[in-house]
């Protein structure tokens, strides 16, 4: 009796399903999906795993080199901006100071060059004429509108030595 109940229960649990029928269009679509899946699987089995690993290593090296080049360019650009901000008289001084800073291999903290002021101060002490005068700095000048006496003495001496020239 236990066997009969088991058979009845299993028969009740398994409803009989009719075989599925597909239209021609659905059949072709399923056939295409199967063909694509088989093709994808075949491409995976045909893959050169070692070649992919080597390619990935090459791309990683290229990415690291590109990042290093970018960092070097950014550092050089920041150094150039820093040197331009020093208001040196000409490009020769700018190139010289730029090379001094590069030799020291100073690092930036944001936009501030750590140790740059010390290098520039030493350069300023030894090459004071390399910097353009500050336009905001007050310079002594004659208040009377006439040339100072010292200039008159120089002018008189000049014209005394050159009698053929006339003063303006």
pLDDT number for residue 11:
52
pTM above 0.75, yes or no: no
Q: What is the pLDDT of residues 82-132, one digit of tens each?
A: 999 988 888 898 999 999 999 988 888 888 888 889 988 998 888 888 888
**Which residues span the domain enclosing 121?**
58-130
For residue 29, is it within any domain? no
For residue 85, is it within any domain? yes
pLDDT number for residue 55:
86
pLDDT number for residue 35:
94
Q: What is the pLDDT of residues 41-70, one digit of tens each?
A: 888 777 778 888 888 899 999 999 999 999
Mean pLDDT of 132-155: 62
Q: What is the pLDDT of residues 1-23, one digit of tens each?
A: 555 555 555 555 555 666 777 78
Q: What is the mean pLDDT of the chain?
A: 80
User: Do the beta carbons of residue 49 and residue 80 sit within 8 Å?
Assistant: no
For residue 140, is it within any domain? no
User: Do the beta carbons of residue 97 and residue 116 sit within 8 Å?
Assistant: no
For residue 108, is it within any domain? yes
For residue 70, is it within any domain? yes
For residue 99, is it within any domain? yes
Convert the chain into a string of H (helix), E (strand) and C (coil). Answer: CHHHHHHHHHHHHCCCCCCCCCCHHHHHHHHHHHHHHHHHHHHHHHCCHHHHHHHHHHHHHHHHHHHHHHHHHHHHHHHHHHHHCCCECCHHHHHHHHHHHHHHCCCEECCEECCHHHHHHHHHHHCHHHECCCCCCCCCCCCCCCCCHHHHHHHHHHHHHCCCCCCC
Judged against a pLDDT cut of 60, whether residue 75 lies above it is answered with yes
Phi, psi dihedrals of residue 111, rounded to the nearest 5°: -105, 0
- Total domains in the chain come to 1
For residue 148, is it within any domain? no
């Amino acid at each position: 009796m236990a066997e009969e109940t088991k058979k009845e229960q299993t028969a009740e649990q398994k409803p009989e399903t009719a075989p599925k029928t597909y239209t021609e269009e659905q059949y072709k679509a399923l056939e295409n999906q199967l063909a694509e899946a088989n093709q994808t699987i075949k491409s995976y089995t045909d893959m050169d795993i070692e070649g992919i690993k080597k390619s990935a290593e090459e791309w990683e090296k290229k990415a690291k080199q590109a990042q290093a080049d970018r960092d070097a360019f950014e550092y050089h650009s920041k150094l150039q901006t820093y040197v331009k901000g020093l208001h040196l008289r000409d490009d020769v001084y700018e190139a010289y100071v730029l090379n001094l800073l590069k030799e020291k291999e100073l690092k930036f903290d944001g936009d501030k060059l750590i140790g740059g002021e010390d290098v520039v101060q030493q350069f300023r002490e030894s090459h004071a004429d390399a910097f353009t005068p500050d336009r905001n700095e007050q310079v002594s000048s004659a208040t009377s509108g006439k040339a100072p006496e010292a200039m008159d003495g120089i002018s008189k001496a000049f014209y005394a030595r050159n009698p053929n020239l006339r003063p303006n």
